Amino acid sequence: MSESRERILNRLLDSQVTATVSPVKQLVPQDPVPSALSADECLACFCKELDALEVDYYIEDSVDDLKQRLQTFIAAKSLLAWDQKYLPYGIADCLENENCCYDDADMAIQSQAEVGVTGCDFAIAETGSIALLSAKGKPASASLLPFTHVAVLRRADLVYSLGEMFAVKQDEIKNCSHLNIITGPSKTADIEMVLTVGAHGPGKLIVIIGP
């Protein structure tokens, strides 16, 4: 194995001297300038993108309203959720009486859940994306296995661009095994370019934006 490594690297080193790569002017990657948009404008941009992606979203100005909204999606459903310490606004309370499993459950059981309930580590306004970091207690499966995914976002966690998120959260991202940036429901257009939703991941994504 290491012989292959040496041979490949040596070939690259030898070729580097004579390689006919184009002299492309070295542009320094743009520093992600925190956008000039205000928090409200950012939110409006985020919502516009969510509309285009056919993601249902709700903006709630109080924690009580938010909890009530959440109830409408989880009542009488089997759930797969993040651990309470990772869920914002104390919404773990809403899950107490429900049929809810967590990441310590068998994968077959997790896969039966109808609704996944998670928080969001970040959201990106420019593309209408939510970003979820996985760890013990906040499994990636909650935003992947159930057909419906309800994501609760803290308004303060909304940034404008992916570049900003990468800049601010680089250390956290590289110390986490999976960062998932989710933009809309799972979809495919493989068959005759006809768009179908719910290919493998959730076919329904709901974002509840809290105060």
Partner 1 sequence: MKTDFKHRIKQAVEDDALRTALSKATTTLRSKRLSALESLPDSDLTRKQARSAKQEVLNNFAYYAESFEQRLLDHGVTVCWAENAESANQHILEIAQRHQVKTVVKSKSMATEETNLNEALEQAKLKVVETDLGEYIVQLAKDRPSHIILPIVHMSRQRVGEVMHDTLGLPYTDDPAELCKHARTKLRSEFLAADMGISGANFGVAETGGICLVTNEGNARLCTSLPRVHVVLMGIEKIVPTMQDLDQVLKVLARSATGQKISTYTTLIHGAAKDGAVGPEHMYVILLDNGRSTLFDSPHADVLACIRCGACLNVCPIYKNIGGHAYGDVYPGPIGSVVTPYIRKQGHWKQLAHACTLCEACHEACPVRIDLPKMLLQLRANNQREEASFIDEMKFKMFANLASCPVLYKFATKCFRSFMNIFHADTWLRKSIFVPKQWTKHRDFKTPASQSFQDWWRERSKDV
Site for partner 1 in 86-125 (CB under 8 A): 103, 107-108, 111
Q: Does 201 bind partner 1 (CB under 8 A)?
A: yes
Q: Does 85 bind partner 1 (CB under 8 A)?
A: no
Q: State the Cα–Cα distance between residues 116 and 57, nearest whole angstrom.
A: 15
| Sign of the alpha-carbon dihedral angle for 195, 134, 90, 170 | negative
66 vs 206 by CB, closer to partner 1? 206
Q: Does 180 bind partner 1 (CB under 8 A)?
A: yes
Closest approach of Cβ 115 to partner 1, in Å?
A: 16
Q: Which stretch binds partner 1 (CB under 8 A): 29-37, 40-48, 74-82, 87-95?
A: 29-37
User: Site residues for partner 1, window 129-148 (CB under 8 A)?
Assistant: 129, 134-136, 139-141, 144
Say which residues have a Cβ less than 8 Å from residue 80's Cβ, sequence separation at least 6: 100, 101, 102, 105, 110, 113, 115, 116, 117, 139, 141, 142, 145, 146
Q: State the Cα–Cα distance between residues 157 and 211, nearest whole angstrom.
A: 11
Q: Which stretch binds partner 1 (CB under 8 A): 22-30, 85-93, 115-123, 152-160?
A: 22-30
Q: State the Cα–Cα distance between residues 83 and 152, nearest whole angstrom.
A: 13
Task: Pick from 72, 75, 199, 211 the residue near partner 1 by CB under 8 A.
Answer: 199
Q: What is the greatest pairwise CA distance in the chain?
A: 69
Of 30, 40, 207, 45, the C-alpha closest to 131 is 207
Q: Checking DSSP bridges between strand 204-209 and strand 56-59, what pairing results, if any?
A: parallel
Site string for partner 1, 40-79 (x = CB under 8 A): ---------x------------------------------
Q: Does 189 bind partner 1 (CB under 8 A)?
A: yes
Q: Does 36 bind partner 1 (CB under 8 A)?
A: no
